Amino acid sequence: MTADMSTFLRSLSWSLFGTAISAFLFFIINILAGRLLGPTEYGKYNLVATISGVLAVFITLGFDTTVIKFVSSTKKEEDKNFFLSNALIIISISSIVILLLVVTLSRFLAIKLNTDKLLVIIGALYAIIFTFKTFFDSIIRALHKFKIQAFVKSIEALVATISFFVLIIVLEHKSYVFYVCAVFIAAIVLLLIYFYQIKARFRRWSGKHFQSAKPYAMTVLATSLATIVTVTIDRFAINIALGPKVLGIYSAYLISTTIIASQISAAITNVFFPTISKSPDKIGLMRKVDNLLIWIGFPFLIIMSLLSIAIIFLFGVNYHLNLIYVFLSSSVAFLQLAAVFYVTIAMTSEKLFVLYTKFAYLKLIIILVVYSALFVLKLISISSVLEVLAIASIYDIFVTRYIIENKSGD
């Protein structure tokens, strides 16, 4: 076993440890929230998270992923400090700007999204907390502090569990607002611990380091804009066309399949991206991923389908077990997991990543056309939305493989 592989496996074990504990506790909270709050309130919480995901792209401006790339590949510690400090300054300023814009436009946004002003503003606040949490987590990951990351994520999940128990179960506040509060409290605890770990690295603004990182950050931003629209438009479409109750039911199926798969992929890519950043053999990496996916494909679908059925039962009778939804969401989960591996390989090369960005925007245009047609024809449903997600993931897989295989040596 090579030294790089040994390091990868050791780091992966810590990443999986932290992710497993965190994912399990948040998973339990999610199911309890869906069961106790009911589909409508649970749908509103998921709309908050969806709004947050979109706003987070405009807050980070691509510098969350850029930090991982440059801090992981830079040898000088002081250069690493300037890269992460620049990113923190940018994110802090953009957070204030985005919050002011959302508050000003909250009434307009609420009408367009078929919701209320309070939910939109909460979504903006959630986005800011979520962004800083992701940013600090990215720094810890880029510095290869996987052991610390594992323990802090476990603490965050434990705090969220306790907060949820007190606010929702003991005090009986059966509202999405208090579910958000429970998550807020846990995220703030995580931020404080991470801040203590890296505060000595903060430096003043460096124009030189900003200019060095900006091209990659702009590429990340361009791709993130296309990606966030494609991964959130499904929930916006369902809420606008069918309301928060159906969004709550749809979200339960995502939690039982695609969210589990995303947690698995997050744990792996958490280590995979920093580890392969310096590897020049992109095609070799792709072949290994090909073989892995062939081996795990069918067992993954069977296990995920059975797990989904069990989880929907746990959510309760209000969430209506539907085997078609189970099959479609399980298939989407596997396809999205596969796509993440290939896209991660492409992201380690600025040239390949730029090419992928162009194709990502083509995918965005196609998806927007498809959803427009579904709205006009009044065909928005859980099934139709899951089918679009599957097609989008297949597109990502084929396009990314083509780029890696045909453009790596150019």
pLDDT digits (tens, 9 = 90+) for 29-42: 999 999 999 999 99
User: Residue 211's pLDDT is what?
Assistant: 86
**220 CB-near residues (< 8 Å, 6+ apart):** 62, 63, 65, 66, 353
- Return the closest-CA partner of residue 408 out of 285, 282, 279: 282
pLDDT in tens, 80-101: 888 888 888 999 999 999 999 9
- Name the residue with higher pLDDT: 86 or 161: 161
User: Residue 258's pLDDT is what?
Assistant: 86
Q: 405 by DSSP, 3-state: which?
A: helix
pLDDT in tens, 344-368: 777 777 778 778 878 878 888 999 9
Average pLDDT of the chain? 86
Q: Does pLDDT of 164 surpass 60? A: yes
Q: Does pLDDT of 150 surpass 70? A: yes
Most confident option among 258-262, 333-337, 405-409: 333-337
**69 CB-near residues (< 8 Å, 6+ apart):** 142, 216, 277, 347, 348
Domain count, the chain: 1
**328 CB-near residues (< 8 Å, 6+ apart):** 383, 386, 387, 390
Q: How confident is the model at residue 270 (pLDDT cuts 50, 70, 90)?
A: low
Give residue 374's Cα distance to chain centre: 26
Instruction: Tell me what the mean pLDDT of segment 124-147 comes to.
Output: 84
Q: How confident is the model at residue 16 (pLDDT cuts 50, 70, 90)?
A: low
User: Residue 152's pLDDT is what?
Assistant: 86
Lowest mean pLDDT among 69-78, 96-105, 227-236, 367-376: 69-78
Q: How confident is the model at residue 74 (pLDDT cuts 50, 70, 90)?
A: confident
Q: Which helix (H) or strand (E) holds 98?
A: helix 77-112
What is the identity of the amino acid at 32? L
Q: State the sign of the Cα–Cα–Cα–Cα dihedral 171, 176, 179, 183.
A: negative
Enter the DSSP assignment of 175. Answer: S
pLDDT in tens, 291-334: 888 898 899 999 999 999 999 999 999 998 999 999 999 999 99
Cα(21)–Cα(267) distance, integer angstroms: 11
> Both ends of the chain: CA-CA distance in Å?
30
Cβ contact 276:284 at 8 Å: no
Q: For the purposes of burial, counting CB atoms within 10 Å of the CB of 170, is it exposed (0-12), middle (13-18) or buried (19 or more)?
A: exposed
φ, ψ dihedrals at 316, nearest 5°: 115, 170
Q: For the purposes of burial, counting CB atoms within 10 Å of the CB of 388, is it exposed (0-12), middle (13-18) or buried (19 or more)?
A: buried
Q: Does pLDDT of 49 surpass 70? A: yes
Tokens of 139: 């720094």
User: Residue 17's pLDDT is what?
Assistant: 67
- Return the closest-CA partner of residue 186 out of 25, 17, 15: 25
- What size, in residues, is the chain? 410
**18 CB-near residues (< 8 Å, 6+ apart):** 146, 149, 150, 151, 152, 153, 154
Q: For the purposes of burial, counting CB atoms within 10 Å of the CB of 243, is it exposed (0-12), middle (13-18) or buried (19 or more)?
A: middle
pLDDT in tens, 205-256: 888 888 888 888 888 888 788 788 888 999 999 999 999 999 999 999 999 9
User: Residue 11's pLDDT is what?
Assistant: 54
Q: How many CB atoms lie within 10 A of CB 112?
A: 12
Q: What range does the domain containing 145 cover?
A: 3-407
pLDDT in tens, 271-281: 666 566 566 67
Instruction: Tell me what the mean pLDDT of segment 133-145 comes to.
Output: 79
The full DSSP string for 179-217 is HHHHHHHHHHHHHHHHHHHHGGG-----HHHHHHHHHHH
User: Residue 245's pLDDT is what?
Assistant: 95
**Pure H helices in 243-322:** 244-256, 258-276, 282-315
Phi-psi region of 29 (alpha: psi -120 to 50; beta: other; left: phi over 0): alpha
Cα(94)–Cα(88) distance, integer angstroms: 10
What is the identity of the amino acid at 84? L
Cα(27)–Cα(13) distance, integer angstroms: 20
Q: Does pLDDT of 155 surpass 80? A: yes
**263 CB-near residues (< 8 Å, 6+ apart):** 19, 23
User: Residue 248's pLDDT is what?
Assistant: 96
Cα(182)–Cα(239) distance, integer angstroms: 23
Cα(399)–Cα(410) distance, integer angstroms: 17
Cα(241)–Cα(381) distance, integer angstroms: 9
Cα(159)–Cα(161) distance, integer angstroms: 5
User: Residue 278's pLDDT is what?
Assistant: 61
Q: How confident is the model at residue 18 (pLDDT cuts 50, 70, 90)?
A: low
